[in-house]
Amino acid sequence: MGKALPALLFLYFISVGKLVTANNCQQKTWCVAKPSSDQATLLANINYACSQVDCRILQKGCPCFSPDNLINHASIAMNLYYQSRGRNKWNCDFRNSALIVISDPSYADCIYA
């Protein structure tokens, strides 16, 4: 038993080290609208997300207003919601009208959180 305990402790520290490394290297993700989503769905997504989070960044004159179209505004609103809820995959479903992406969708002065 004397040799088994150090071996178990060694395995424990290796496991803990891997968990810490995995958590520290978590990849940043964003939630965007599926390009195939219809206009009614995009509008519903904007309305829902913006009822839950601050969407002022989408107002005219703000950095994310342009381009002024539903897919752009829906993507920004959906991502604001997704980020505010902890970036869980279930917070980027929007009735199967959303995608989680690993490429930053920010553009010009419109920075996705």
Q: What is the pLDDT of residue 72?
A: 98
The 3 state secondary structure assigned to the chain is CCCHHHHHHHHHHHHHHHHHHHHHCCCCCEEEECCCCCHHHHHHHHHHHHHHCCCHHHCCCCCCCCCCCHHHHHHHHHHHHHHHCCCCHHHHCCCCCEEEECCCCCECCECCC
pLDDT in tens, 78-105: 999 999 999 999 999 999 999 999 999 9
Is residue 49 one of the residues assigned to a domain? yes
Is residue 101 one of the residues assigned to a domain? yes
Is residue 100 one of the residues assigned to a domain? yes
Q: Judge whether residue 15 has pLDDT over 90.
A: no
Q: Judge whether residue 14 has pLDDT over 80.
A: no
Structural domain count of the chain: 1
Is residue 5 one of the residues assigned to a domain? no
Q: What is the pLDDT of residue 21?
A: 37
Is residue 81 one of the residues assigned to a domain? yes
Is residue 12 one of the residues assigned to a domain? no
Contact between 67 and 95 (Cβ < 8 Å): no
- What residue numbers bound the domain in which 90 lies? 38-106+109-113
Q: What is the pLDDT of residue 111?
A: 96
Contact between 58 and 77 (Cβ < 8 Å): yes
Is residue 50 one of the residues assigned to a domain? yes
Is residue 54 one of the residues assigned to a domain? yes
